[in-house]
Structure 1
C-alpha cells in the first residue's frame, strides 16, 4: 500500500514544498462529526501534507489525487481529505469542482464552509460568496469569526451595508462581535460606503487591542478624505501603546501626503527606519509623501533605497516629477522602469502622458503614443482619454480628431467628456456644442463631466434649457457638479430666477455651489439677495472660505453698504483670514467701492504680503473716488516693485490719468506687456486719449482691440461725440450695427448727444425712435434730456417744451437743466425762468441753476432781476463754488 502511494506521489511530480499543510487538529474544529473519520492513515497523511506544501496547486494534479482518494476509500468518510481537496480545487480556481466536492461531503465542518466562502472572495465573486453564506445560514450551521469576517468583506465589496449590518447583528447574537476580525470587517464595510460615523461607533463599542481594527479605522478615514482624523487616530493609537504595523504606516503616510504634512510624515518615516521595515507598500507611501510635498530630491533618495519596487512605486516617483513640472526627469524614470521589465499599468502611462502635454514635448508625446500602440494600451479607455487630452493640450487638434475618430471600440462617455472639455477650455464653444450634439446622435449618454463642460460655454438660454431638460431626463441634474454648472449657466444668461430654482433643487451643496450662487446675485446687482443667501449658508452650518467671503464682500460693494461690509470684515477677522492676501484684496475693494478710502488704505497697509489684487483694488478705489494723484502714485509703486500688472490694474490707472504725457507712458507699458488688445485696456485707452483731447490716438487705440465689445464701441462713440464730431460718431455707430453688436441704453445716450453737438436734429429723432422700435429699449430721463438738448441747441425751444410735456415719465432736474441751458444760449427769458423754477423745485441746493438764470437776465439787460436772483441765493444759503484752473 505504502509503495503504491509513493509511486503515485512521484507521478504527481510535485514541486519543492513552500506552503504549510492542513493540520488534523484544525480540521477537527467545527461541527461534531459523530462517527466520521477525521484523518486517513499516517502514510496518506504524509502524502497529503506533501502536496499541501507545493507552491502551485493545479487542477490536473488535484483531480488525480481526488481520484486516488476515491479509489482508496478515503472519500467521503475522511473530512481531512475532503477539506484538503476542497482547498486545492479553490487554489486551482476550479470553483465548480470545489462546490461539487462540497456537496458530496456528508457533514462539512466550519473549515469546509469558510474555504468556499473565502475562495469566492479571493476571486471577486462576492455575490456567490453571499449566496453560499445564505446556504450555510439556512442549514443551521453556526459560523465562526472567520466566516463573519469573510462575509462582511463580501458585503463591503458589494456596497451592501444593510446586508452587512444583518450579518454583524448575527455575530453579536452569537458572541463574535468582540472579535477583532469581525469588527474590522464591519468598520471596513461602513468606511467603504462613506459611513465613517457608523464605523467609529463600531470601533468604539469595545476597547480594541487588535491592530487590525485600528488599521481598518485609519485606512477608512483616509479613504473618506478625513486625513486629519486618520492622523488623530494614529496619535491615539500611540497613547494606548498599540504598536503599528506596516499597514498602519502606509495608511498614515498616505494621510500625511494628502495633507502635505511633512512634519508628521518625517516622524513616521523615522519610526519606519527604527522598525527596519522593508515593506514595498510602506516604501511607496514614503516616496509618494515626499513627492506630494515637492521634495523630489528626498523622494528620489527613498526610491533608490527601496530593495523591491512595484508599479505603484514607479508611478509615484514619475507622478512626483510631473507635479514638479520636471518632464525630463519623469521620462527618464519611465525609461528606467521599462528597462527593468516592471509591469506598467494605465496609471503609469497617464502620468507620462501628462509630462508630455507641453508645447516643447510634442516629439516625446508621439514616441510615447507609438509605444502605447505597440504595447497594446491603445485599447484602454483611460489611456485613450489621456492621450487625447495630451494632443489637445499640444494644440494638435488635427491629431486629436484623428485619434478620436479611431476610438470606436473604447469611445465611452469619458472619452467624449475629454474632447468636449478640451474644446470648452480652448474657448471653442461652437465646436464643443457640435461635439456634444454628435455624442447624443450616436446614442451616447453624457456623464457629469460632459454636462458640466458644455454648460460652461453655453451662452444661449434656449440651448441651456434644452441641455437642462436632457440632464433632468436622465437624473444627472441632481449631481452637484451638473447642478452647479446649470445654475451658473442661468446666472450668466441673466435668468437669476431659474438659477436660484436649480440651486434650491441641489440635494447637497458645497462651498463652491454656495459661493457661485452668492457671486451670481452680486454680479447682477442683487446685493440684498446675495447677503441673504450668505446668512443662509452660515445658518446651515457651512463655513465660508475666502472665495465665499469675497463674493459676500462684492455684494456689499454693489449695495455700497459700509455697515454690512464691516460686519463681514469682523467675520473675516474672527476666521483668521484678514491677513490673507485674497481676502485682504476683497476687503480693500469693498471699502474703496463704498467710498471709505481711509479704511481701504488701512487694510492695505496691514497686509503682510501685498499682491496685485489688493494693489489694483486700491488703485481703482482712488481713481473712482477722484483721488487721481494717489491712484497714479500707487500704480507707479506697483511698477517699481515689479508687480505683474493685469488689465484691471491698468484700466484703473488709465481712468485716473488726465495727462497725455503720462498716458503715453502707460500706453507704452501696455504695449510692452501685450495687453493693448485686451477689451478693458483698449476701452480705457480710448477714454484716456479722449479726455486728453487726442482723438486721432483715440481711434488708433480702438483699432488695436482684437474683438471690441459694446463697451469699446460706446467709448469710441462717446469720444467723437464729446469732441463735436457727430458725423464720425454716427459712422462708428453704423459700423457697430453692421458688425452685429446690439446697442444698449448707454450707447443711445452717446449717439443722441453726438447728434446734439453736431446739430443733426432729424438723425437724432430717428435714433431716439429706433431705441424702442428696433431694439426694445425704453428711454429714461437721460435720453429725454439729450433730446431736449438736441432740440434746444438747434433753437427749437417751443418744440423742446412740448416734448417735455409729452414725456411718459415725470421729467427730472436733468431734463429741465438741459432746457435751461438752451434758453440761456438763445436768450429766452420766460421759458428759462420756467425751467429754472422747475430745477430749483427738484434740486433746491444746486447753485448752477441760480447762476444760469441770473446770467440769462443779465444777458438781456435785466440787471434788477439778476441781482434779485443773487440775493435769493444768499437768503436760502446756496453758495457758488469758486472756479479754479491748472494755470
Structure 2
C-alpha cells in the first residue's frame, strides 16, 4: 500500500472514531455488542491498528473481550491490519472458540504469508472443516503460486466427502501452470457440472493459456454458448501472448465490443513478435488510449531496438495528460541509450515520487550499470528503503559488467548478511565476472555453491559461463569436460562460446568440430557467428571446406 493511501486511510479512521463511536463516547460506557462489531469491522477495513488496539483494551476493561462473537472480530480485525502476533494472542484468548474462530485465524495467517502455520490450523480442524476453510486454504495456496499444494487440498476435500463449489474452482484454476494438472482440473469441472459457467470456463481458458495449450483454450472458447467481454478478451490475450498474431487480429475484428484491454494486448503481442509497424498502426487506430497503451507501445519500441521512438513517446506523456508509473519507468529505462537519458528518467522518477520504489530502483541500477556508471548505480542502491534479491543482483551485475570483480563478489557475500539469498541470475553475473577476470578457482567455487549451499539447479547459461571460464584461460579440455557432463545436449550458443575460446587459443581442430556442431543445431544467429569465429581461427582451409559449404547452404 502506498504512503498516500495509508495516509488517506489513517485520516478516514480518525474521522470515523471521532464520530458516534469516538473514544470520548466510549470511555465511560458500554455500547451494544453490534455497535462494537461495526466499529471493529471498520477498523479492519481501514487498517486502523492503533484504534483497533484501543478498542480491544476498552472491551477488556468492560469484560466483553470474553464474548466469542467479539473475540472473533478482534482476530479478524488484527488479521486485516496485518498484525499476525496480535491475531494469534486474540485467538488463544478466546474462551470457547468455534469454527468461525479457526476460519478467521486461518485467513489472518494466510493473508500475511504464514501459509504453513495456516495449514497446521487447517489440519487441526479435521471434521469441523467447512467449505469456507477448504476454499480459503485452496485460494491462498493458489495466490502464493503453490499449485500442487492447492491441488492436494482439493483432492483431500473430495476424499473427505466435500464437493467442490464454483468458488473452489475459481481459486484453483488461477494458479495451474502444468498441462497435466490443467487437464485434470478441466475434467473435475466437467464432473461437477460447472463447464457451462462462463466465469469458470474463462478460468479454464486462461489456465490453458498459462500452459501454452492454445488449441485447448480455443476449444473451450468455441464451446461457450454465451461469451462476455471477459471471455473474448481472454481468448485474444491467449493468442497475443503466444505469438498467434493473425488469429488475434481476426478475433479482434470479430469481437462484438472491443475494449482498451483488447487493443493493448495486441500492441503487446506485436511488440513481442517484432511487428513494430503493426503495433504503431494499432496505436494510431485506437478509439482511445490509456497509460497501459502508452506503456505497451514504449515496451514494444524498447524490445525491438527502437530506442529513440521509445524516448520520444515517453517525453510526450505529459502532453497527453498521463503520469508515468513504475511500469513506464521500467520500459523506458530499458530503452535508454546512454547515461544522460538514464539520469533524465531518474529525475522524472523523483518528480513522480517513484525514485524510492524498489522496482523502479532496480531498473535504474540496471540502466546505470549497462552504461558503466557504477557510482550512480550504487547511489540508487544505497538510497532504496527496501531491497530485494533483484536489487542485489542488479548491483552485482553492474559491477561485473564494469570489471569490478572483487566488488561483485563482496556484494554476493553481503547478501547473506542482509538475509537475502542469491538466485540463478545472481550466479550468472558472478560467473561472468570470474570469467572476464580469469578467476578460475573463484568461479568454480561459485558454481559449486549454487547447488551445494543454495539448492539452485544450474541451468544452460550457468554451464555456458563455466565453459567460457575455462575456455578464456586456455583450459580447453576442462571446458570440453563441462560440456560432456551437462545434463542435456549443449545448445548452439554453448558451442559458439567454446568456438570463440578455440579461436583465441588457435586450436583449429576443436574449432572445426565446434563449428560443425553449432551449424547442426541451426540457431538463427549461428551462420554469422560461426563464419566470424572460423575466420579468426584460421579455418579457411581445404579440410574445413565442408563446414563452409554447409554454412553457405544454411545462409541461402
Q: TM-score range by the shorter chain?
A: 0.7 to 0.9
User: What residue in structure 2 maps to residue 532 of structure 1?
Assistant: 216
- TM-score, scaled relative to structure 1: 0.50
Kept after mapping to 1: 8 A contact 2:464/2:494:
yes
The one of 528, 544, 550 aligned to 2:228: 544
Q: What secondary structure does 1:638 align onto?
A: coil
What is the deviation of 1:635? 1.6
Q: Tell me: CA distance 1:812–1:489, structure 2 relative to 1, closer, same or farther (3 Å).
A: closer
1:566 to 231, 245, 249: 249
Q: Is 1:481 aligned to residue 481 of structure 2?
A: no
Structure 2 distance, partners of 1:745, 1:518, is 31
User: Secondary structure at the residue paired with 1:693?
Assistant: coil
Partner of 2:489: 810
Deviation at 1:694, TM superposition (A): 0.6
CA contact (8 A) 1:420 1:454 kept: no
Aligned to 1:855: 536
For 1:431 and 1:829, locate their aligned partners in 2 and report how far apart those are by CA, in whole Å.
59
Contact kept? 2:381, 2:395, Cα under 8 Å: yes
Helix, strand or coil for the counterpart of 1:795? coil
User: Which of 217, 237, 248 in structure 2 is aligned with 1:554?
Assistant: 237
Kindly tell me: are residues 553 and 727 of structure 1, through their superposed partners in 2, closer, same or farther at Cα, counting changes over 3 Å?
Answer: farther
Counterparts in 2 of 1:385 and 1:466: CA distance versus 1, 3 Å: farther
What's the CA shift for 1:851?
Answer: 2.6
Task: Identify the residue that residue 53 of structure 1 maps to in structure 2.
Answer: none
Matched with 1:316 is none
CA deviations over 1:222-272 (Å, ceiling 9, x no partner)? xxxxxxxxxxxxxxxxxxxxxxxxxxxxxxxxxxxxxxxxxxxxxxxxxxx
Alignment counterpart, residue 876 of structure 1, candidates 540, 552, 555 = 552
Partner of 2:371: 692
Q: Residue in 1 aligned with 2:95?
A: none
CA 1:549 to 1:685, structure 2 compared with 1: closer, same or farther past 3 Å?
farther
Secondary structure in 1 aligned to 2:379? helix
What are the residue-to-residue correspondences of 1:250-649 with 2, within 5 Å?
359-360=11-12, 362-369=14-21, 378-380=32-34, 383-401=35-53, 403=55, 406=64, 408-411=67-70, 420=79, 423=82, 429-430=112-113, 457-458=140-141, 459=144, 461=146, 478-488=164-174, 507-508=193-194, 510-522=197-209, 524=210, 526-528=211-213, 532-533=216-217, 535-546=219-230, 548-572=231-255, 575-577=256-258, 580-649=259-328
Of structures 1 and 2, the larger Rg is shown by 1
Distance in 2 of aligned mates of 1:779 and 1:561 = 32
Q: Does the CA contact (< 8 Å) of 1:729 and 1:751 recur in 2?
A: yes
CA distance in 2, matches of 1:491, 1:418: 34
Question: 1:656: Cα distance to partner?
Answer: 0.9
Given that residues 755 and 764 in structure 1 are in contact (C-alpha distance below 8 angstroms), is that contact kept between their aligned partners in structure 2? yes
- Cα distance in 2 between the residues matched to 1:433 and 1:780: 29
Q: CA deviation at 1:760?
A: 1.5
Q: Which digits, 9 at most, give the CA deviation of each residue in 1:764-785, with x for residues without a partner?
A: 2233334444455544443332
Report the secondary structure of 1:846's partner residue.
helix
Maintained 8 Å contact 2:236/2:251:
yes
CA RMSD across the alignment: 4.5
What secondary structure, in the 3-state scheme, does the structure 1 residue paired with 2:248 have?
Answer: helix
CA distance in 2, matches of 1:397, 1:853: 69
- The residue that corresponds to 2:85 in the other structure is none
- Which residue of 2 is the match for residue 766 of structure 1? 445
Task: Indicate the residue corresponding to 2:466 in structure 1.
Answer: 787
Measure how far apart 1:756 and its partner are: 0.6
Deviation by residue 1:151-205 (Cα, 9 ceiling, x = unmatched): xxxxxxxxxxxxxxxxxxxxxxxxxxxxxxxxxxxxxxxxxxxxxxxxxxxxxxx
In 1, Cα distance between the equivalents of 2:465 and 2:118? 49
Deviation at 1:689?
Answer: 0.8
Aligned mates of 2:510, 2:160 — CA distance in 1:
69
* Counterparts of 1:480 and 1:357, CA distance in 2: 33
Q: 1:662 to 1:763 in 2, by over 3 A?
A: same
Change (3 A) 1:692 1:505: farther
Per the alignment, in what secondary structure is the counterpart of residue 21 of structure 2? helix
* Matching residue of 2:332: 653
Structure scoring higher RCO (CA < 8 A, sep ≥ 6) equals 2
Distance in 2 between residues matched to 1:496 and 1:742, nearest whole Å: 32
Q: Distance in 1 between matches of 2:188 and 2:415?
A: 36
Q: Secondary structure at the match of 2:331?
A: helix
Tell me the distance in 2 between the aligned counterparts of 1:808 and 1:469: 34
The 8 Å contact of residues 384 and 415 in structure 1, kept in 2 or not, is answered as: no
Q: TM-score, normalised by structure 2?
A: 0.76
User: CA–CA distance in 2 between the matches of 1:418 and 1:502?
Assistant: 36
Distance 1:645 1:717, change over 3 A: same
Correspondence 1:665 to 2:344:
yes
Find the aligned partners of 1:669 and 1:605 in 2 and give their Cα distance: 26
**CA 1:586 to 1:810, structure 2 compared with 1: closer, same or farther past 3 Å?**
closer
Stretches of structure 1 that go unaligned for 5 or more consecutive residues are 1-355, 880-887
Instruction: Assess if the C-alpha contact under 8 Å between 1:724 and 1:757 holds in 2.
Output: yes
Distance 1:439 1:850, change over 3 A: closer
Q: CA deviation at 1:620?
A: 0.8
Shift of residue 507, structure 1, vs aligned partner: 4.5
Tell me how far apart the structure 2 counterparts of residues 618 and 506 of structure 1 sit (CA, whole Å): 43
- Does structure 2 retain, via aligned residues, the 8 Å contact 1:817–1:836? yes
What are the superposed Cα offsets for residues 103-124 of structure 1, whole Å, 9 maximum, x if unpaired?
xxxxxxxxxxxxxxxxxxxxxx
Q: Which residue of 2 is the match for residue 846 of structure 1?
A: 527
Shift of 1:670: 1.2
Q: 1:288-340 CA distances to partner (integer Å, 9 max, x unpaired)?
A: xxxxxxxxxxxxxxxxxxxxxxxxxxxxxxxxxxxxxxxxxxxxxxxxxxxxx
Q: Deviations over 1:683-721 (max 9, x none)?
A: 221221122211122233333444444443333333222
Task: Report the 3-state secondary structure (helix = DSSP H, G, I; strand = E; otherwise coil) of the residue aligned with 2:474.
Answer: coil
Structure 2 CA distance for aligned equivalents of residues 629 and 812 of structure 1: 34
Distance 1:476 1:719, change over 3 A: farther
